[in-house]
Chains A and B, each alone.
Chain A
Amino acid sequence: MSKSQAASADFVSPDLKNHSGRKTIFKKLKKNKAALIGGYLILFFIIVALVGPYFTVHDPLKVDYSTKLLSPSSTYWLGTDHNGRDIFSRLIHGMSITLYIGFLSVLVGLLIGVPLGIVAGYYGKALDSVIMRFIDILLAFPGILLAIALVSVLGGSISNVILAVGIFSVPGFARITRGSTLAVSKLEYIDAIRALGAGDFRIIFLHILPNILSPIIVQATIRIAIAILIASGLSFLGLGAQPPTPEWGAMLSQGRSYMFDHPHVALYPGLAIMIVVLAFNIFGDGLRDAFDPKMKA
């Protein structure tokens, strides 16, 4: 389809001349305030996910009806839910789940999509047609529908969500990788290396992959944001993480019935999702600006 080519074309050309300038990319990244903020926020969230649970005072899972649905106070910073659990503690414990799903599902997408894209772009011809038709079929399922369908048959669990969201991100990675691979493998120096006797394996890993990394990294960052949104949506629908897991989407799904009198049960989990997704989007925007001089305008 023409659309993907139009979309990936943005990513293809700029980096080719730029691969010796990894330092300048970091310099640009440092100059890009938004990217820095996004990057530091992500770092902060990772630290919270790793060490935060050791610092929370309240047990995120312990049910205590004597403290149910309390409004935010100095004891319960963000209030308590219908089971009397501290929402702040649950959000802190949920951070690792959110990031885990985000990173791992994108890793699944990368591990399937990038090899498919490289093989399609590098070998071309029949192999390219077969792979890209397969990608077209995956893309025929609108948006998150494929993820919903997969989780519905596999059963609701965090690992199935990771698999489903991972497969959902395969087409994006495959198409961008293919486009970039096509552009790089047409360059003269690849011919020169081949003439020197380098095998396909060596050419792909040492010469093509390093040159197509930046569009893939940008795509991965944005995909993490999307993955977190989809995963929380699946949990909200009851198809993902199951209660009492303090997953944010699942918290929203449970808090829904109580939000009319106690808005804090639905307000904060949603804000948490938004802030984390925002950080990845800001970082992704910054990376794209840094990697892609054309977009600087």
Chain B
Amino acid sequence: MLQFIVRRLLQTIPVVIGVTILVFSLMHLIPGDPAQIIAGEAAPDDQVEAIRERLGLNEPLHVQYGKYMSNLLQGDLGQSVRSSRPVLEEIKPRFWITMRLALYSMTLSVFIGIITGVISAVRKYSLLDSLLMLVALFGLSMPNFWLGLMLIKYVAVELTLVPPSGWGSPQQVILPVITLGTAGAAIIARMTRSSMLDVINQDYMRTARAKGLKQRVVIYKHGLKNALIPVVTIIGIEMGMLLSGTVLTETVFAINGMGRLAIDMIRARDFPVVQGIVLIFALTFVLVNMLVDISYRYLNKRIDLN
């Protein structure tokens, strides 16, 4: 197991290096002169030159990347063009808001998804199954930002059950988490159902039933445990959708998280901050995936990962 964790850590290194190269390249994908675009079209030449100088854009690419990497390793993500504050300082207070939003939504997705999936599988082809899967299909097909708008309009403003925006109090958390978690719940429900159905037809399930075990014990102890293994892999991918989904959810609910900061900074053409946010999102996701892989391995010792 330890050997596996070490190997998995080593595998992550080239991915992380690749990610830094891609994020670094973002600035150079800007069509035209990045310094000019950051400064604005009407900016005087000396101001453009100052920005170019500050971002080191007139040095050769490999030198720029070298500097970027050595700064990165010292925890320096660069400086905001607008506020001149370190990028990390801009991001830090918002990071945990976004992570909490994503984690709460994940919890909701997993909880609702697995329960729905199991009920559907146990009652397969029943009216309840059809109904649940129809709801899941809708949940999967709905733009989450639209769901958020509708929840604000009808639940927060019309029914005044919860505040329409912001983040902090438990009431403020409910709508954003539903908005972000719905699609994930739908995907996990469908995955759990089909995985349960696969498992239910296995020989060991028949054996368990033949032994005279109660249906409930068979389903939950023998069935669910095995059916959840493929579901765990989906959770890693879902976490990615959730992390990036925070951008839309935070915009809809005016939450001051990292995702909304990204959009604000894109509008303000503050690319060092945008780069920093993209990098932090990607590194978080790489870390999450690593943890998922390790727990997957732990759950299912039969898998040979190399």
Contacts and interface: CB of A to CB of B under 8 A. Distances in A.
Contacts of A281: 137, 140-141
A133 B18 CA distance: 9
Given A2-B303, A142-B282, A273 B143 contact: yes
A256 B149 contact: yes
Contacts of B29: 150, 153-154
B263 A237 contact: yes
A252 B251 CA distance: 13
B305 to A, nearest CB: 5
Given A237-B251, A266-B153, A274-B146, A140 B30 contact: no
Contacts of B244: 142-145, 148
Given A133-B18, A252-B149, A153 B138 contact: no
A297 B202 CA distance: 12
A133 B15 CA distance: 7
A106 B135 CA distance: 26
B197 interface: yes
Q: Interface majority SS on B: helix, strand, loop or mixed?
A: helix
A2 B300 CA distance: 12
A297 B197 CA distance: 7
A141 B278 contact: yes
A236 interface: yes
A63 B149 CA distance: 25
A236 B248 contact: yes
A34 B30 CA distance: 44
A297 B263 CA distance: 44
Interface string A1-26: 11100110000000000000000000
A263 B285 contact: no
A154 B31 contact: yes
A266 B22 contact: no
Contacts of A3: 233, 236-237, 292-293, 296
A149 interface: yes
A263 B152 CA distance: 11
A156 to B, nearest CB: 9
A143 B146 contact: no
Interface in A245-286: 249, 252, 256, 259-260, 263, 266-267, 269-270, 273-274, 277-278, 281-282, 285
B14 interface: yes
Contacts of A150: 29
A282 B153 contact: no
A104 interface: no
A163 to B, nearest CB: 11
A237 B23 CA distance: 21
B18 A134 contact: yes
A176 to B, nearest CB: 14
Contacts of A278: 137-138, 141
Contact of A145 (B31, B230, B281): B281
A285 B137 CA distance: 10
A143 B19 contact: no
A273 B15 contact: no
A148 B267 CA distance: 12
Interface string B2-34: 000000000000111011001100110111000
23 contacts: A2-B293, A6-B233, A133-B14, A133-B15, A136-B15, A136-B18, A141-B22, A142-B241, A142-B242, A143-B243, A153-B271, A154-B29, A155-B31, A236-B143, A239-B266, A249-B143, A252-B143, A256-B149, A260-B157, A266-B153, A270-B149, A278-B141, A282-B137
Which 6 A/B pairs are nearest by Cβ-Cβ distance?
A: A143-B244, A270-B146, A137-B18, A142-B240, A142-B285, A278-B141
